[in-house]
Chain A
Amino acid sequence: MKNNKKVVWLALLVVILAGIGFFSAGGGTASQPYLIGDPQGDWGFPSPLAHNPRGPGYLRVSFLFDTLIWKDDKGFVPALARTWEYQDSPPTYVFHLNPQALWHDGQPVTSEDVAFTVAYLKKHPHPWVDTRPVEKVEAPEPHTVRLILSRPYAPFLEEIAGTMFILPRHVWEQVQEPSRFQEPRAAIGSGPYTLVEYRREHGLYRFAAFEKYYQGKPVVPEIGFVQVGNELVALKGKAVQAASVPPEAIQELRTQGFTVLSQPHFWCLKLLFNHRRFPQREAAFRQALAHALNLPDLVSQALRGHGLPASPGLLPPDSSWYQASQTLYGYNPAAAARLLASLGYRRTAGGWEREGQVLELELLTAPAYARVGEYLEKSFREIGLAVRLRQMDHVVLDQRVKSQQFDLALSGHGGLGADPKMINDVSLGPLAAEFLGGYQPSPQLTQLLADQLHTLDQNQRRKFVAQIQELLARELPALPLYYPTWYLGHDGRLPWFFTKGGIAKGIPTYFNKMALLPQTLPVSSP
């Protein structure tokens, strides 16, 4: 009798648990927004000056705010500016604004707003927009604005016109602390969506289509980003409609009817050298290590083939600025040994020896690159070079690199599809020197990097960028290892496409707001 009682209690517990699920699962009638899953969650309040300075923070704001121009899968397209032209003297970009453009509160977008935005950003800098090249802004007519530059600036369209969110003057002119301005008015933009809800703890951003959007009301009434624990499980369970997915799930997802897209290769993992130490400061040593590595084999082992061996000139073949390098470093242990010998090292039973000292280096690696670290350690051991692996949190690794407390380190960065100004960002200047172990570019490379910034002739600039890649391949300030392939899985309802070079100044993601506009674009296959 007593045992029967217990069984009844247990059964009741199971029924209650199951009942909770059934009870409210059946009650829904409201339409769910199109949700994009993200394991990180919160990327800051979605205003141009409060979002997190990384790409996903910018991306969320891009649904609410427009820039002067934008990009689709082929290149620049009109946004707030219907047309634009360049005038030589003084170097000036003239933008003709779309007269139908409205702020979310119904006020018209005017040239005064553009002038205000530039002045405001000079006072309150945006993480991605460097307004220094703009000397003066004139607003001769309500829908014409002239941005006068101090000197010709080739990346202007991508770095400033295509990245700078235009702010409504009537909202922001009284705001003294823009990062703390996080009330609903701070999200009033001129973009295709308005902010419905932002819940920091859920990483939830809900956007509703702006009825009076000047390029037509978006076809998806409501879209959102939300934090998920496991992107693949959430996608398979149809709790979200799009998410990044791991390579091993591609086949299964396709079988289940999902669309899986691969992204162009705009992120690179590099082997960093401490240029303040011998022998890393010698180009011959860096070239020796390049010859010691079999990059295609590294890709097949560390990434299971989901990636590309990197070009020594840094830019990937997917970049429109890519130039195949003349200087190549095939897998050649004999060449590596010759190069080490040229530095005065002698191969002994204990390793490579010079002035009685055996060469032994420490390689810093983060958990995400553990397999790469092991592969490198094994490859270097095969040519007789002793390397100690040391794994650490990536923030600690970055800090060690910046303070020059390392021999070799693994570190990566994105933005490789963007304007070639990014080469300047990662290889020129004091901060780049910190990240590259104190590397100082040669005078020739420095001159080329400066020239390419101020050359408006595309063909001439292309030649400069090709020469820069060749010099980088020869000098190897860092050794590019691979470009991983990333995948997006989605339910196939929306024609997501990959933006040329990445969204704005190179965000490598598919979620371009243009895909949600009435004149839908075909899905691109990069």
Chain B
Amino acid sequence: MSRVLGYLFVLIFILSLNFALPRFLPGDPLTALVGEQDLIISPEFRQELKQRYGLDQPLAHQFGQYLVRLLSCDLGYSFYHQAPVSAVIGPPLRWTALLCGASFLVSTILGIWLGVELAVRRSRPWTAAVVGVCLVLASLPGFLLGMALLLGFSLKLGWFPFFGALDLVPQVSGSATWGSGILRHLALPALTLVLAELPGVALLVRGSLLKVLQAPFVLAARALGLTETRIKYRYQARNALLPLITRLGLRFGLLWAGAVPVEVVFAYPGAGQLLFQALLKRDYPLIQGLLLVGILAVLAGNALAEWGYRLADPRVRSRTWY
């Protein structure tokens, strides 16, 4: 109960910050909206814009309006896209969920597997080479990796599309073709994110596992005659999971922000790119809407991490919470 109240308090505090932060950004939305054509647009239109977006109202009034709208689940009206914020962010959030969800899942599963193998087979010469590759991949900027994949697989080989998230003109009817179009568009952006995220997961698991490889419980498990695979994943890996869960919990809420460079390279219509553009255009309602979603994702990530601790570690489960 106390934890729920804690989250509620954080949410209320953040909602207020959410309103204030975009307005702390230097630069005004009208100038950002019309850009260099500020001088060319008609004066009547300029006045009309101010009224339309409530920018001629005092800040306190704008804040009141924001809260009232929020209570009725209205996120406001985007200055730039001239549409309700919920309609603007809906489709990009779905694409982001697909891209980040897929890459998060794949990078986590493959990362755990690779980390375990690197730790268990640490004496083999190839593991040093793989660790080196992991370090190189982890240090590469996402957009560079994405651009290399785009040039190689799309431009040179012609295997994958250049931009977007689905076929613009469905080639032939049928859900199989529609689905394969989505998969083809997803492949390279997701691969970029997996390659960027997997090394970190693998190295973390490897590091944590190295500490428990010779632990007494491992000796006990071997004495019981358990298989090596069972010992590796059921006992050793599980004991090394706690730092990884912390990392994944923190990462979960920030996934979409990390996807921004990849979304830009592949013109993947996700929410990260939308937030980036909204910040450039000082689109206050859109920034507020997206940050709200981001905040909820971070809170959800923290809650999932806590739940994950309790699932992975019986010691945490048995502890009394006050």
Contact = CB atoms under 8 A, between A and B. Distances in A.
A426 B36 CA distance: 10
Determine the interface band of chain A, counting residues with CB < 8 A from chain B.
35 or more
A30 B41 contact: no
B118 to A, nearest CB: 14
B168 A395 contact: no
Contact of A432 (B39, B82, B163, B187): B39
A402 B31 contact: yes
A229 B31 contact: no
A42 B177 contact: no
Contact of A226 (B151, B163, B280): B163
A28 B81 contact: no
A278 interface: no
B36 A21 contact: no
Contacts of B102: none
Interface string B27-52: 11001111111111111110010001
Interface stretch (A94-102, A198-206, A212-220, A315-323): A198-206
B26 to A, nearest CB: 4
Interface residues of B, number: 66
B45 A53 contact: yes
Contact of B171 (A18, A24, A200, A237): A24
Contact of B34 (A54, A233, A425): A54
Contact of B44 (A32, A125, A179): A125
B201 interface: no
A130 B42 contact: yes
B264 interface: yes
A19 to B, nearest CB: 9
A239 B40 contact: no
Per CB-CB distance, the 9 closest pairs between chain A and chain B, nearest first, are: A21-B159, A395-B27, A28-B171, A201-B269, A125-B44, A229-B267, A24-B180, A239-B162, A125-B45
B37 A55 contact: yes
A407 B265 CA distance: 37
Contacts of A233: 150-151, 154-155, 162
26 contacts: A23-B184, A24-B171, A30-B170, A44-B80, A53-B34, A54-B34, A129-B42, A130-B44, A132-B44, A182-B82, A200-B81, A202-B269, A224-B168, A226-B168, A229-B264, A229-B268, A233-B151, A239-B163, A395-B280, A395-B282, A398-B31, A400-B26, A414-B37, A426-B39, A431-B38, A431-B43
B183 A20 contact: yes
A42 B27 CA distance: 22
Contact of A23 (B48, B88, B147, B180): B180
Contact of A54 (B35, B39, B183, B184): B35
B139 to A, nearest CB: 23
B303 to A, nearest CB: 29
Contacts of B81: 42, 44, 200
